[in-house]
Structure 1
Amino acid sequence: MKCGGSTLAALPESFFADMRQLQEEGIVTVIVHGGGPAISDTLSKLGIETEFVNGLRRTTEDVLDVVEMVLSGKINKEIVRRIQLAGASALGLSGVDGQLIEAVPVSNANEVGLVGDVTKVNAELIQDVVQMGYIPVIAPVGLGADGGQRYNINADTAAGAVASHLGVEQMIVVTDVPGIMNGEKQVLPVVTVAEIEAMIQSGVIYGGMIPKVRAAIACIQGRVKEVVIVNGSEPNVLSKVLKEGGIGTRIVR
């Protein structure tokens, strides 16, 4: 699952109760989370300027220090704490730990700075954490191949890469909208990769939804069969996705 930064504060207790229920039933969940609003707020308090280029935060070393502090520290531990309060077991990690996420600079690094594209995920480490009985909660900060350079990684991109490398059947994108909407603001129950490209070109899909669907497309071209975009504030949303269907938008090949 990818949990968006703007969604985390609004997630109801039933969301975490769902995670406990799934863990008890033997359904393994892995969370990759964002934290954009909290990062922006902290940067503002510290007087560090930030801007976005095509949905990606322009990242200098100063910005990256704050990104890592907020994602790997505050946000990651907050999610772990809420899962544990619901009665499940969780373990917080960042992409730096155990070289979990390896990355290279994005193609437009001259514009966005220290933003990374994922080249490798240590799936064995994630599986080991799961086998120990914990839900992995992953902050999307990555390392270069030599382990020296850190990279800020878009959470949608990181979640898609983790899903692909784990070979899971389904990725759930937990956000603050009910799914992908058409021009009449109606939720589309199913869309294909080709339809998404057309909707981006026509402007129906725009803004922060673009990196979400791009990550979904990259993910689906791997071993993942489908990506589901749902509103995290919907009561018992995880149970509904996994057991009932008919909620949010399913992105399929």
Structure 2
Amino acid sequence: MMPAAVVLAGSRGGTDPVAQHAGVSDKALIELGSETMLARVLRALRDAGVADVAVAANGPAVAEEAQRHGARMLPAAAGPSASTAEALAALGAPLLVTTGDHALLRPEWVRSFVADVPAGTDVAVLLARQESVERAAPGSRRTYLRFADGHWSGCNLFLLATPQAEAAVRLWQAVERDRKRPWRIVGRLGPGLLLRYLMGRLSLSEAIAALGRRAGVVATVVECRDGLAAVDVDKPSDLDFVRDHLGKTAART
């Protein structure tokens, strides 16, 4: 049985450059073909077998779109980590977390991710290697985490597998508060692991496991072999890439 899921579709306030580029009020309402980006995400989750889906949003038009597609609504908090904390409190664990701008989300990624999470995990994160991303999404510019075992990009898909994952969300909130002070984020690894990282000897799985231990949870990395899963819509060029990709896919079918 698939866990419940929450789609983070809140606004940080101000003008979103992607929404402005597309001429809509909220990024999640950008139309891709015959449906909105949010509708595509909700459909992918449903097709993966997720029966209970909530959307965390603060825009009335987004709320209307979510409810039109059978999702329950949760008010968005001040940032994605706070919204995730409130969703975990409301829906319980296990809980899948993704975003409203994960426009190319596929049901098979969701099913494989859940199936590949090791037993005993409290929180898991899906990531893809740079070579997989560049092979599947040439021309898409992503941000990579550089570790001894390769360069990795996040896939906007997380599993809060147990109630203990709440501690990891609290750590996420602290990291979010320190996002303009990166030395404090890196410092959470501790001096030994930090030195290994600076020497290029720390793997991603070791770093994630260490951060998990700092929070008192078992945290694991799951590799997604389809690098397309790392594509989300953070900037206008991402939207252009997604539209071009969907157009080419439709032309082949």
TM-score of the superposition, structure 1-length normalised? 0.34
TM-score of the superposition, structure 2-length normalised? 0.34
